[in-house]
Chain A
Amino acid sequence: MVESVLGSDLPPLGQLRWQCRRGMLELDYILIGFLDQHYPELPVEDKHLFVRMLDFEDQLLLDWVMGNVVPSDTNIRRLVGLMQKELKTT
């Protein structure tokens, strides 16, 4: 059954999983890994932030996570930092 989050406007997990499918293998690994292992435990506001992140271009997302570019939005910078930390320890 497709999961949904009652009481919020977050997209169902199936939709997020599909939107984590990208044009680069590196992003597939990073985004799907984060969705499976960390997204469920995030506070609601960070879940919304992750959903918003998925709308950005592939190249920019990769540059953020690889540390080539620092996001100007402080909240996204914080989430990217969390992703980098988790990815390097898993």
Chain B
Amino acid sequence: MTLARRRFDALIIGAGGAGLNAALQLANANLRVAVVSKVFPTRSHTVAAQGGVNAALANVFEDNWHWHMFDTVKGSDYLGDQDAIEFMCREAIPTVYELEHNGVPFSRLDNGRIYQRAFGGQSQNFGGAQAARTCAAADRTGHAILHTLYQQNIRARTHFFDEYFGVDLIRDDDGAILGALTLEIETGEPLLIEAKTTLLATGGCGQVFRTTSNAHINTGDGMAMALRAGVPLMDMEFFQFHPTGISGRGMLITEGVRGEGGYLVNKDGERFMERYAPNAKDLASRDVVARAIVTEVKEGRGCGPNADHVLLKVDHLGEDIIAKRLPGIRESSQIFAGVDPAVEPIPVFPTAHYVMGGIPTDRLGHVVIPSSDGSEEIVPGLYAAGECACVSVHGANRLGGNSLLDILVFGRAAGQQIIDHLKDSPEHRPMSDAIIEKAVSRLSRWEQEGEGISVRELRDEFRKVMEDHAGVFRTDEIMSEGVEKVKAVREKLKDVRLGDQSKVFNTARIEALELENLIDIGMSIVLSALERKESRGAHSRPDYTERDDVNWLKHSVYFQEGDRLDYKPVQTKPLTVETFPPKPRVY
């Protein structure tokens, strides 16, 4: 097979905030950088981030990076690596100013400084009064950042491969990454991109679950590419769920609805949260509300013809209050749930929102293979940043405003590290035909013809298994069954066939490749969750209700070969300050 080839100093797969911030560093350093994106870059999922970016600028209240670090360590339920968290909180400040100088239109205070809003989990003086740390561009911060970075990359002459799909990494016998095999979606033709360094920045993988707030593009492609290249995934059991997604669709219904007096009922019309949280009721913490909803459904008190959701009632508030205090809720409920909340309740179910785990990296963006003794082996030529990576700064749970920060700080750091690396390693490593063969075979597998299971059928089955067995309700029995079911789905993948073998814009072929990625990642989630026998952060187990710092203050590390799990100690030593020792996480 003759493959078209291109050569670059750096290849970046993914064009969200992490990928574009890294690319900008590289292009500004006059390096030849290629960005591969399966959709047009400004259609990456960063565009959906509304909240903002945390940085201790102290523009509204007194603040400093050390307080931000404390909040992040505490928010992570002490599973975050404190060296990486210190780095992120220090770098937040120059990162935000760099974005400002690049043209991000941050909202302003009257004195002209960047406006900062208060978010949950932010404190002054190590757990004291509320801080205001989140820099925002109105309610469309992700959109503003993504468009600014894209325009700056165009100015800096970054080479974009729009609507190209990353198939697999190219890895030599020494374990070094030499680039990637990609597929041009328009023509269906493969393209080999050779690069001295490759950065994975492909975002999250919420599409592993049936109900998710993630866009359809979030299929964890980079994570699965790493797995197939022998790189493990870390802390994949930590997945943030929002309790009130629109049932069967996944779009978020803001917590503000319950804050304004909305409440949840089951099929009997019972306000069931009174049983689960007698004091806080519908305003209990996210994990408590999410688990209560799933329990109601599991115990047969779900609503609708399939008894698969509960109802969020707001009609008692009246049209005026809904219009005044909950703008957008009426429109989105009508469009996405087919109900007018001023008249009838909204069907809701917990929705998968954000993955804290991912490809293990150090704080400079190098992809590493961790060992149980705490050491790390760098994978030569490979970097990762953004939601697909696990530095780890979010540990067991992520604070609001820290996700955009993560992608921007570590995208920037990875870009700068690649620049340094290329000064010392200016040559391409040799690439033999034999090592390309494996990646190409992944493509040719989908040319098999004949009768078989459809991609859609297996994808629906898989995502339902993940929702039922690796969602918010996690007992040993449920997850053990889940592991077997995911293994069965993985076996069935061999029997999937494409009805359409054409090449031009054959989206079914891309969806098949994405399904393989989702299933590979699904196994890492359900196995890591089964084995972690404690409740910590977003991982909540009714059969192990307490956090167990004696046995479980460690990262889970999943290897695809043999479905093997290993563990790595948490880095509790920061770079320059004292350790924050684990304490009960009370807000």
Q: A residues touching B (Cβ–Cβ < 8 Å)?
A: 1-2, 12, 14-15, 17-19, 21-30, 32, 57-59, 65-68, 84, 87-88, 90
Chain A contacts of B202 at CB under 8 A?
A: none
Residue of B nearest to A17 (CB): B507
Q: Is the beta-carbon distance between A58 and B336 smaller than 8 angstroms? A: no
Q: B residues touching A (Cβ–Cβ < 8 Å)?
A: 39-40, 42-48, 140, 143, 146-147, 163, 185-186, 212-217, 249-251, 328, 331-332, 334-336, 338, 500, 502, 504-507, 510
Q: Is the beta-carbon distance between B216 and A25 smaller than 8 angstroms? A: yes
User: How close is A11's CB to chain B, nearest CB, in angstroms?
Assistant: 8
Q: Is the beta-carbon distance between A26 and B251 smaller than 8 angstroms? A: yes
CA distance A58 to B42 in the complex (A): 8
- Of the candidates A12, A59, A90, the one whose C-beta lies within 8 Å of that of B140 is A59
Chain A contacts of B216 at CB under 8 A?
A: 21, 25, 28, 32
Could you show 11 A-B contacts with beta carbons less than 8 Å apart?
A12-B504, A18-B185, A22-B217, A23-B42, A23-B215, A24-B47, A25-B249, A26-B332, A29-B251, A58-B48, A59-B140
Residue of B nearest to A89 (CB): B338
- Of the candidates B42, B214, B338, B506, the one whose C-beta lies within 8 Å of that of A25 is B214
Chain A contacts of B143 at CB under 8 A?
A: 57-59
Chain A contacts of B506 at CB under 8 A?
A: 2, 14
CA distance A43 to B338 in the complex (A): 26
Chain A contacts of B163 at CB under 8 A?
A: 18
CA distance A63 to B47 in the complex (A): 13
CA distance A29 to B502 in the complex (A): 25
Interface centre among A14, A32, A67 (most CB of B within 10 A): A14
Q: Is the beta-carbon distance between A58 and B47 smaller than 8 angstroms? A: yes
CA distance A22 to B507 in the complex (A): 14
User: How close is B253's CB to chain A, nearest CB, in angstroms?
Assistant: 12
Residue of B nearest to A57 (CB): B42
Q: Is the beta-carbon distance between B45 and A23 smaller than 8 angstroms? A: yes
CA distance A24 to B40 in the complex (A): 13
Known: A2-B500, A21-B43, A66-B331. A14 touches B214 (CB 8 A): no
Known: A15-B186, A18-B163, A58-B143. A25 touches B215 (CB 8 A): yes
Known: A2-B506, A12-B505. A21 touches B217 (CB 8 A): yes
Residue of B nearest to A68 (CB): B328
9 nearest A-B residue pairs (beta carbon): A14-B505, A23-B47, A59-B143, A15-B505, A24-B48, A28-B216, A87-B335, A23-B43, A2-B502
User: How close is A61's CB to chain B, nearest CB, in angstroms?
Assistant: 10
Chain B contacts of A66 at CB under 8 A?
A: 328, 331-332, 335
Interface centre among B47, B505, B507 (most CB of A within 10 A): B505
CA distance A67 to B39 in the complex (A): 26
CA distance A87 to B338 in the complex (A): 8
CA distance A21 to B25 in the complex (A): 28
Chain A contacts of B250 at CB under 8 A?
A: 25
Residue of B nearest to A24 (CB): B48
Chain B contacts of A21 at CB under 8 A?
A: 39, 43, 215-217
Chain B contacts of A59 at CB under 8 A?
A: 47, 140, 143
CA distance A1 to B88 in the complex (A): 49
Chain B contacts of A58 at CB under 8 A?
A: 42-43, 47-48, 143
